[in-house]
């Protein structure tokens, strides 16, 4: 209960008029950078960082972390409305969020996303509050073999499900792995797969790929259909926001499960992206309404959003306690900590109690502020769906172009984005799944690095993946998930009656 | 002095001095872009942002300065980009010695000769770190333990592959007649966490990469790869500060000096005046109290190499690295 | 009209070519095991082979079992109305920069659909370019491409 006392003290610090004002500013700016693809929390953080040097460290971190919350929430908006995920971790939100919005229910989709995101974030903060001291130790148990096992688990829970032709899924997955390998390889330092284009040494950026595959690709699909070209006349109602929020408890099992997955992936090095994919994959397997997934099923929004935010929040803990930044934003914040003269690490919790608990208290408050603000914006964002297609289409193209360009001020990225757009169109048209490709781009190279680091450690013996209980458990769990559909199908075949069930 | 000779002196000054003064007066006329060849939060990023903050605070340049991170390909992205900006005096790239070492070992599309060197402003130090609860208290014990096990049982972690950390590891191999397995991670911070978790046995991080871990008693330095002890300062742990750490030579590991310069470059084909402007600017930056504060906070060593001294430094470093790279078979065949 | 067979084959050929390029390119990096662990080309090599084999399978499958018509003429027409202006927009960015390109693009799109007056379209076009400038250039200090035109005017 020592932690709770410290937390109360933290609330004392965070609950000043000045700090609430900073939270509002931070959240609003965060929503702005989160909504605009190509800009992300790192842009906002680096913009604000110089302003914070004159502030107290607590005030500064409250401003920056509020912006982080705002950006996390804002990132879901474009995923749902336009099928453009601005961050890797909101890709899985598009799977059901976008169909639901297209179906004329953008308000429901957004409110579901924000509601479950808030729940996930809350779960993350509670975890940090109750277990700040020992959770950091969990992360220490992860060496390269464990990293690999976690990534393997994420792939296993996601791949191998869904109605796409298996060979097309395989090709899509493999293309993602190949794209992830482009550029300098961490383990050998050599340049790979640049195909004679010098600039590709920087690798294929996720944002560039996703703007094209999802944003442009979806636009090309949507324009074909005359019905889609007409604007959706969705009714925007405040009541709908509240009704959706009030209905969320019906999904409490999904919420709890997803929050658990998110927290677990946040404190282990899996991260928010792996968490959201994994949570979606598991939700789809366990849900009785499996067939509705991908067509606007609420659980398909709840699962990734809850896990994403639970992971994003709990990932701040290893950063503070160990000094490993879980994301680019966390890295900038860590740079900030050091400029303010604080060293992230185990001593932070002992030497800088006011700072740490002020920050944790501000996570509660910042999230409340963020969710209130973002819910207020739902009708405004939902109204965007009523803008006619012929106006919104050029806007989306321009936003994707600028987004791809601003990743690294490169025209090559814009060209690649267009190429990905065509590929995205072809794939969607011909039922190649896009999700495995995206998952592989995001965590493929990390999984490969971890595998090769493990091989260096064991001098080539695969036994390293079965050497310790933790890694063995993870690998076996992954293998079970991978084989589950096969086993179920076999059982189904042996018992024809169960197969008859929908 | 006669009237005549006074006139002659004035004429001389006018003839020699003024055109010079006009030439040296190149001033930037539009916003300047600082390119950091590391991701946000990395050492090079902090370096570029420290310089930016000082320039902005003292208004050393009228034009605004924007920091852009181009960390792809271990920094190759930033250098390649700068190379393509030849003749543009508004792009300043911040890096380390990888500007000349990376082209030796990877097929990247630039070489340091494509850039105009401005200065090396800081030397970051390296230390040999082990886990806090490791049984060895000094360098000799440590290497005895390493030698007692079969070659390759001890794992050294580090940032990147075939960069400074691995080069230093191979130098240690030779000096101590042992053989480490080198495990490359994305950053020094990651290696530090792996050491804290006991997944590797040692690493050679910079002071700023591991100070938090040392304070928090998860790992401790055995020796510093510098010619003399690191400067005195406040205690880091209850009993020790950086100055209390022996140099590696003092403790019996014969590597007298290994440092990582933080370097500043312009694109190729800029004029001498433009380069001179930035050399001068960096000198001004270095004279500020904020710079001293940055150096102390990150426990680096202040230095300022420019012109011939910088060229000689590069040449020496290339020679040393080339030898190790050749022995290890890292050199790329062109 | 586009047949499913031709679209399936085209896609399989694209992915197959990519797979082949990955295989060839990975051979440069070395495949197998060396003193430095798993060679850096190994993983791309396996992945490239997978893409290549999968593409061949998809090519055959697509040829045998594709839907006869996958794009009707009306769909194809709507697709080109979106695609070609977009390609032109992206294509002219290096020449005239993103601000004029966006303005022309928005103007063109609004004028083509003939809703509202040309003046409205022009205002929306200028508004779009201005919004880009305010958000990216001014607020977040991200300089967007100015193109050869911009360079000629000394931006």
C64-105 pLDDT, tens digit each: 988 888 899 989 999 999 999 999 999 999 999 999 999 999
pLDDT of residue A419: 96
CA dist A290 and A298 (Å) reads 11
B14 pLDDT band (50/70/90 cuts)? very low
Strands B65-69 and B32-36: parallel
Q: Which residues contact B193 (CB under 8 A, 6 or more apart)?
A: A139, A140, A322, A323, A324
- Which stretch of A17-21, A109-113, A412-416, B132-136 has the lowest confidence by average pLDDT? A17-21
Contact B190/A324 with Cβ under 8 angstroms?
A: yes
C155 touches chain A (CB under 8 A): no
pLDDT of residue C11: 96
Read off the pTM.
Answer: 0.88
Nearest CA in chain B to C40: B161
Please state, for a pLDDT cut of 70, what percent of chain B lies above it: 92
A495 touches chain B (CB under 8 A): no
B219 pLDDT band (50/70/90 cuts)? very high
Q: Once rounded to an integer, what is the mean pLDDT over residues A217-226?
A: 86
A220 pLDDT band (50/70/90 cuts)? very high
Q: Where are the domains of chain C?
A: 4-64, 73-152
Backbone φ/ψ region at B35: left (φ over 0), alpha (ψ -120 to 50), beta: beta
pLDDT of residue A326: 61
pLDDT of residue C103: 95
A502 pLDDT band (50/70/90 cuts)? very low
How close B299 comes to chain C (CA, Å)? 31
How close A117 comes to chain B (CA, Å)? 26
Whether residue A228 is predicted with pLDDT greater than 70 in this model: the reply is no
CA dist A450 and A456 (Å) reads 10
User: What sign for the dihedral angle of Cα B285, B288, B292, B297?
Assistant: negative
How close C130 comes to chain B (CA, Å)? 20
CA dist B206 and B128 (Å) reads 9
Contact A402 C136 (CB under 8 A): yes
Reduced to 3 states, what is the DSSP secondary structure of residue B156? strand
Please state, for a pLDDT cut of 90, what percent of chain C lies above it: 61
Contact A301/A96 with Cβ under 8 angstroms?
A: yes
CA dist A474 and A143 (Å) reads 13
The structure tokens listed for A333 are 């914040």
User: What stretch of H or E contains A438?
Assistant: helix A435-458
pLDDT of residue A85: 85
Whether residue B2 is predicted with pLDDT greater than 60 in this model: the reply is no
- Which stretch of A40-54, B175-189, B248-262 has the lowest confidence by average pLDDT? A40-54
Contact A409 B212 (CB under 8 A): no
Contact C28/A195 with Cβ under 8 angstroms?
A: no
Which chains have 3+ CB pairs within 8 A of B?
A, C
Contact A345 B212 (CB under 8 A): yes
The structure tokens listed for C122 are 């022009």
Contact B64 C141 (CB under 8 A): yes
A498 pLDDT band (50/70/90 cuts)? very low
- Which stretch of A221-235, A339-353, B149-163, B220-234 has the lowest confidence by average pLDDT? A221-235
B163 touches chain A (CB under 8 A): yes
Q: When comparing pLDDT for A314 and A320, which is higher?
A: A314
pLDDT of residue A133: 67
User: What sign for the dihedral angle of Cα A291, A294, A296, A301?
Assistant: positive
B66 touches chain C (CB under 8 A): yes
The structure tokens listed for C19 are 């797979």
CA dist B20 and A35 (Å) reads 52
How close A493 comes to chain C (CA, Å)? 26
CA dist B176 and B172 (Å) reads 6
Best to test chain C binding among A174, A188, A406, A447 (most C CBs inside 10 Å): A174
> Residue A341 class from Cβ within 10 Å (0-12 exposed, 13-18 middle, 19+ buried)?
exposed
Q: Once rounded to an integer, what is the mean pLDDT over residues A484-501?
A: 64
CA dist A459 and B123 (Å) reads 35
Reduced to 3 states, what is the DSSP secondary structure of residue A56? coil
User: What stretch of H or E contains A191?
Assistant: strand A191-192
Q: State chain B's mean pLDDT as an integer.
A: 88
Q: CA separation (Å) from A363 to A15, A368, A371?
A: 12, 8, 12
pLDDT of residue B289: 94
Residues of A in contact with C54 (CB under 8 A): 167-168, 170-171, 174
CA dist A52 and C23 (Å) reads 49
Whether residue A231 is predicted with pLDDT greater than 80 in this model: the reply is no
Q: Report chain B's terminal Cα–Cα distance, integer Å.
A: 65
The structure tokens listed for A88 are 């890797």
Strands B301-305 and B115-125: antiparallel
CA dist B52 and A46 (Å) reads 12
- Which stretch of A4-13, A190-199, B177-186, C79-88 has the lowest confidence by average pLDDT? A4-13
Which member of C7, C29, C112 has the closest CB to residue A192?
A: C29
Contact C38 A401 (CB under 8 A): no
Helices of type H across chain B? 3-12, 18-24, 43-58, 76-83, 98-105, 139-148, 164-176, 188-196, 207-215, 272-286, 289-297, 307-328
Question: A380-384, A481-485, C4-8: which has the highest mean pLDDT?
Answer: C4-8
Reduced to 3 states, what is the DSSP secondary structure of residue A500? helix
The structure tokens listed for A94 are 């598009």
* Main-chain dihedrals φ then ψ at residue C2, nearest 5 degrees: -125, 130
Whether residue A165 is predicted with pLDDT greater than 80 in this model: the reply is yes
A235 pLDDT band (50/70/90 cuts)? low
Contact A159/A423 with Cβ under 8 angstroms?
A: no
- Which stretch of A34-48, A59-73, B229-243, C10-24 has the lowest confidence by average pLDDT? A34-48
Q: Which of B236, B148, B159, B248 has the alpha carbon at shortest distance from B200?
A: B159
Contact C113/C107 with Cβ under 8 angstroms?
A: no
The structure tokens listed for B318 are 């290339």
Number of Cβ within a 10 Å radius of residue A461: 12
- The per-residue pLDDT for range A245-297, each reduced to its tens digit, is 999 999 999 999 999 999 988 887 778 888 999 999 999 988 888 889 999 99
pLDDT of residue C34: 81
User: What stretch of H or E contains B260?
Assistant: strand B259-267
Whether residue B327 is predicted with pLDDT greater than 70 in this model: the reply is yes
What are the beta bridge partners of residue B115?
B267
- Which stretch of A9-18, A32-41, A425-434, B262-271 has the lowest confidence by average pLDDT? A32-41
CA dist A381 and B41 (Å) reads 34
pLDDT of residue B13: 46
Contact A186/C38 with Cβ under 8 angstroms?
A: no
Whether residue C41 is predicted with pLDDT greater than 80 in this model: the reply is yes
Contact C140 A426 (CB under 8 A): no
pLDDT of residue A258: 96
Contact B45 A53 (CB under 8 A): no
How close C154 comes to chain A (CA, Å)? 19
Q: CA separation (Å) from A487 to A287, A482, A484, A490, A500?
A: 18, 10, 5, 5, 17
The structure tokens listed for B286 are 């270095």
Q: Which of B74, B267, B48, B256 has the alpha carbon at shortest distance from B164?
A: B74
Contact B186 A345 (CB under 8 A): no
User: What stretch of H or E contains B303?
Assistant: strand B301-305
Nearest CA in chain A to B237: A347
Nearest CA in chain A to C86: A397
Nearest CA in chain C to B68: C142
Which member of A220, A398, A415 has the closest CB to residue C82?
A: A220
What are the beta bridge partners of residue B181?
B155
CA dist A501 and B221 (Å) reads 65
Whether residue A466 is predicted with pLDDT greater than 50 in this model: the reply is yes
Q: State chain C's mean pLDDT as an integer.
A: 91
CA dist B199 and A343 (Å) reads 23
pLDDT of residue A360: 85
Q: Once rounded to an integer, what is the mean pLDDT over residues C11-26?
A: 96
pLDDT of residue B23: 47
CA dist C91 and A38 (Å) reads 20
pLDDT of residue A500: 41
Which member of B197, B212, B330 has the closest CB to residue A323?
A: B212
- The per-residue pLDDT for range B52-73, each reduced to its tens digit, is 989 988 999 988 888 888 888 8
Q: When comparing pLDDT for A92 and A39, which is higher?
A: A92
Q: Which of A71, A101, A103, A98 has the alpha carbon at shortest distance from A87?
A: A71
Whether residue A323 is predicted with pLDDT greater than 90 in this model: the reply is no
The structure tokens listed for B36 are 């950091």
């Amino acid at each position: 209960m020592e932690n709770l006392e410290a937390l109360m003290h933290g609330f004392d610090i965070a609950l000043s008029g000045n700090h609430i004002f900073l939270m509002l500013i931070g959240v609003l700016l965060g929503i702005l950078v989160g909504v605009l693809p190509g800009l992300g929390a790192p842009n906002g953080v680096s913009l604000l960082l110089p302003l914070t040097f004159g502030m107290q460290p607590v005030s500064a971190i409250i401003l920056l972390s509020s912006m982080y919350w705002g950006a996390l929430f804002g990132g879901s908006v474009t995923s749902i409305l336009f099928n453009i995920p601005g961050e890797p971790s909101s890709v899985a939100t598009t799977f059901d969020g976008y169909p639901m919005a297209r179906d004329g229910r953008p308000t429901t989709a957004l409110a579901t996303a924000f509601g479950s995101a808030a729940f996930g974030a809350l779960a993350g903060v509670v975890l940090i509050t109750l277990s700040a001291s020992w959770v950091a130790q969990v992360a220490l148990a992860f060496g390269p073999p464990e990293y690999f096992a976690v990534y393997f688990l994420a792939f296993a829970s996601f791949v191998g499900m869904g109605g796409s032709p298996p060979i097309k899924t395989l090709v899509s997955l493999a293309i993602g792995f190949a794209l992830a390998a482009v550029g300098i390889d961490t383990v050998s330092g050599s340049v790979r797969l640049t195909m004679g284009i010098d600039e590709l040494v920087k690798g294929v950026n996720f944002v560039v790929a996703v703007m094209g595959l999802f944003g442009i690709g979806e636009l090309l699909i949507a324009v074909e259909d005359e019905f889609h070209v007409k604007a959706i006349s969705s009714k925007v109602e405040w009541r709908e926001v509240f009704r959706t929020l009030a209905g969320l408890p019906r999904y409490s099992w999904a919420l709890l499960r997803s929050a658990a997955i998110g927290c677990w992936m946040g404190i282990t090095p899996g991260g928010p992206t792996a968490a959201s994919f994994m949570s979606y994959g598991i939700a789809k397997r366990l849900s009785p309404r499996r067939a509705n997934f991908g067509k606007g099923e609420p659980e398909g929004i709840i699962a990734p959003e809850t896990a994403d935010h639970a992971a994003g929040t709990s990932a701040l803990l290893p950063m503070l306690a160990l000094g490993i930044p879980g994301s680019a934003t966390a890295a900038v914040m860590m740079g900030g900590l050091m400029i303010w003269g604080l060293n992230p690490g185990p001593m932070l919790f002992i030497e800088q109690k006011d700072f740490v608990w002020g920050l944790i208290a501000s996570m509660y408050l910042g999230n409340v502020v963020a969710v209130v603000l973002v819910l207020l914006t739902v009708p405004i964002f939902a109204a965007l769906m009523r803008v006619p297609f012929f106006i919104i289409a050029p806007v989306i193209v321009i936003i994707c172009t600028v987004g791809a360009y601003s990743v690294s001020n490169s025209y090559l990225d814009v060209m690649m984005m267009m190429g990905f757009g065509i590929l995205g169109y072809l794939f969607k048209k011909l039922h190649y799944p896009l999700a495995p490709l995206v998952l592989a781009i995001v965590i493929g190279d990390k999984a490969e690095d971890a595998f090769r680091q493990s091989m260096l450690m064991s001098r080539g013996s695969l036994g390293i993946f079965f050497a310790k209980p933790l890694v063995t458990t993870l690998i076996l769990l992954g293998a079970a998930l991978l084989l589950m559909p096969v086993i179920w199908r076999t059982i189904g075949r042996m018992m024809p009656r169960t197969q008859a069930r929908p | 002095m006669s009237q005549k000779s006074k006139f002659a002196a004035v004429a001389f000054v006018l003839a020699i001095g003024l055109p010079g003064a006009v030439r040296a007066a190149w001033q930037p006329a539009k916003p300047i872009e600082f390119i950091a060849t590391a991701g946000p939060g990395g050492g090079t990023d902090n370096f570029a942002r420290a310089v930016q903050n000082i320039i902005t605070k003292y208004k050393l340049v009228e034009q605004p300065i924007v920091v852009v991170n181009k960390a792809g390909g271990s920094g190759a992205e930033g250098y390649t980009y700068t190379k393509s900006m030849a003749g543009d005096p508004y792009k300043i790239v911040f890096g380390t010695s990888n500007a000349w070492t990376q082209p030796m070992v990877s097929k990247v599309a630039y070489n340091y000769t494509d850039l105009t060197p401005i200065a090396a402003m800081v030397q970051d130090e390296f230390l040999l770190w082990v886990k806090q609860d490791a049984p060895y208290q000094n360098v000799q014990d440590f290497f005895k333990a390493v030698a007692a096990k079969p070659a390759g049982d001890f794992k050294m972690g580090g940032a990147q592959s075939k960069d400074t950390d691995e080069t230093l590891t191979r130098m240690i191999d030779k000096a101590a007649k042992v053989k480490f397995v080198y495990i490359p991670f994305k950053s020094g911070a990651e290696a530090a966490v792996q050491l804290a978790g006991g997944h590797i046995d040692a690493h050679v991080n910079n002071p700023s990469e591991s100070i938090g871990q040392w304070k928090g008693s998860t790992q401790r330095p055995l020796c510093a790869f510098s010619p003399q002890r690191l400067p005195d300062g406040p205690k880091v742990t209850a009993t020790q500060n950086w100055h209390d750490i022996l140099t590696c030579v003092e403790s019996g590991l014969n590597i007298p000096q290994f440092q990582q310069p933080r370097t500043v470059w312009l694109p190729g084909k800029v004029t001498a005046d433009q380069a001179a402007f930035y050399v001068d600017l960096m000198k001004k930056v270095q004279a500020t109290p904020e710079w001293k504060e940055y150096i102390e906070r990150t426990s680096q060593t202040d230095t300022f190499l420019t012109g011939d001294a910088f060229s000689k430094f590069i040449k020496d470093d290339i020679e040393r690295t080339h030898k190790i790279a050749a022995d290890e078979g890292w050199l790329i065949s062109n | 009209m586009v047949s499913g067979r031709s679209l399936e084959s085209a896609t399989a050929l694209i992915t197959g070519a990519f797979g082949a390029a990955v295989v060839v390119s990975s051979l440069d990096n070395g495949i197998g095991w060396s003193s430095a662990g798993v060679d850096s080309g190994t993983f791309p090599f396996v992945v490239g082979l997978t893409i290549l084999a999968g593409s061949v399978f998809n090519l055959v499958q697509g040829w045998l079992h594709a839907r006869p018509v996958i794009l009707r003429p009306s769909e194809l027409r709507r697709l080109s109305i979106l695609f070609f202006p977009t390609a032109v927009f992206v294509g002219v960015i290096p020449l005239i920069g993103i601000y004029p390109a966006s303005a022309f693009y928005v103007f063109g799109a609004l004028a083509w659909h003939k809703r509202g007056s040309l003046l409205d379209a022009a205002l929306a076009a200028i508004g779009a370019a201005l919004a880009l400038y305010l958000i990216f250039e001014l607020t977040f200090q991200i300089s967007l491409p100015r193109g050869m035109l911009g360079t000629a005017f000394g931006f």
